[in-house]
Structure 1
Amino acid sequence: MIIPEEVAKKTDEAYHFLVKANQKDHIIWMEDVFLSWQWWFCFILAIIPWVLWWKFRKKESTNRLLLGAFFTMFISTSLDSYGTELGYWGYRYELLPFLPSFFPWDLSLLPVAFLVIVQIKPNISPILKAIFYAFLSSSIGEPFFEWLGFYNPITWNYVYSLPIQFIIFLVGYSLVTSKKFEAIK
């Protein structure tokens, strides 16, 4: 074996510990979360924003807008997973117990809020829109989900999220408004 046996043993022990913790988490999810009102609330939050956006979107810009939404989803899910893994925050009610991030937040609410803010008042400065987006998600969204009991900021403060959300919005905005798309030949 190329890996030193001591490292393999430590890694295997940690892995087995994580598997047992995940199994316990899945049992709690199945017994106490699945089909509870909190689960249904998460389900609705994961579906309804996309349905509404699909109905009211600027149809000729759908593909460009979705690029920004997918960027927002990818970055949000990645950072959320890292933060959860590092113990900065946790979630008590999840739509699916297999994801370390909060599915409705990362894959629905944040990207759809991004899409709506990008489309409304297109002549407003992207900096102002990014400030609004960051404030909305960090100072309203996070406290709201903490109040509901879904989100537990263990060592995290909402203020830390402001610059992160600001940058996510600006990068997504630059993708959506880029003029560097070329035709597929």
Structure 2
Amino acid sequence: MKYPTFEDVKKARETLKDVSTSHWVQDDLFTWKWWLLLAATFLPWVIWIKYRDKERTLEILCYGLLWAILASATDVIGGESLLWGYPDKLLPMVPPLFPADISVIPVSYMFIYQYTNTLKRYLVFSLLLSGFFSYIVEPIFIKLEMFALHNWAHTYSFIGFFILSLIPYYLIKKLTIKK
């Protein structure tokens, strides 16, 4: 049995890129789903800029950027592992759920971080938001055919969202302790 070489992988990726771009032009670009993804990329940040705690902007922004990194990495790993998938993309060359990973999810948790002043309140609201994303948003996106579960369940997403919410909270709290 001949194992694939790097060149074989490169050719397969080139084919995938061509198919993906063709699909994006034919099925995604300028559809209502594409406009929804575009709005989801920018609108949360516009809202955050308007309602952010201006005295804590850097702290909250760092928290959100950590969330965006975690969400993007998790999404790439899950997508590449075929645990879930996204039929629609904003752009053909970026991860499919880029708008959620860098905008909707981090900004939503940024508001929780901003408006909760104790760990207990943060945990309660993080659990609620994790449930909202997992059990309400995900099923809606499945019905809209913008999200597909393959070898995954909403409960796994719930656990994942909640665990991921602890990481930026802990890191930012550790880095911003005032003496």
* TM-score, normalised with respect to structure 2: 0.90
Give, in whole Å, the separation in 1 of the partners of 2:93 and 2:177.
36
Measure the CA separation in 2 of the matches of 1:175 and 1:60.
19
Which deviates more, 162-171 or 120-129? 120-129
Q: Where does residue 28 of structure 1 map in the other structure?
A: 23
Q: 2:67, 2:164 within 8 Å by CA — same for their partners in 1? A: yes
Residue in 2 aligned with 1:147? 143
With the length of structure 1 as denominator, give the TM-score of the two structures. 0.87
Q: Secondary structure at 1:125's aligned position in 2?
A: helix
Distance 1:135 1:54 in 2: 25
* AA at the equivalent of 2:172: V
The superposition leaves residues 63-112 of structure 1 with CA deviations (integer Å, 9 ceiling, x where unpaired) of 00011101110011001001111111111111111123401110111001
Structure 1 Cα separation of the partners of residues 86 and 54 of structure 2? 35
Alignment-derived partner of residue 98 in structure 2: 103
Larger deviation, residues 125-134 vs 59-68: 125-134
Task: Write out aligned runs for 1:22-61 (5 A).
Answer: 22-61=17-56
Give, in angstroms, the shift of residue 121 of structure 1.
4.1
Paired residue for 2:10, among 8, 15, 20? Answer: 15
The equivalent position to 1:79 in structure 2, one of 70, 74, 79, is: 74
Contact 2:67 2:165 in 1 (8 A): yes
1:164 aligned partner: 160
Residue 45 of structure 1: how far off its partner (Å): 0.8
What is the percent sequence identity of the aligned residues? Answer: 27
Contact 2:112–2:122 (8 Å) recurs in 1: no
RMSD after superposition = 1.9
* Paired AA for residue 28 in structure 1: H
Letter in 2 for 1:68: Y
- Whether the 8 Å CA contact 2:40–2:99 is kept in 1: the answer is yes
Which of 122, 125, 131 pairs up with 1:129? 125
1:80/1:179 CA distance change after superposition, 3 Å: closer
C-alpha distance in 1 between matches for 2:166 and 2:93 = 30
User: CA shift at 1:122, angstroms?
Assistant: 2.6
1:93 and 2:88 correspond: yes
Structure 2: gaps of 5 or more residues: none
Do the aligned partners of 1:133 and 1:169 also contact (CA within 8 Å) in 2? no
Name structure 1 gaps, 5 residues minimum: 1-5
Q: Give the length in aligned residue pairs.
A: 176
Paired letter, 2:14: V
TM-superposition CA deviations, 1:143-162 (whole Å, max 9, x none): 12112111111111111112
Once the two structures are TM-superposed, the CA of residue 60 in structure 1 deviates from its matched residue by 0.4
Deviations 1:154-180 (A, max 9, x none): 111111112211111112222333364
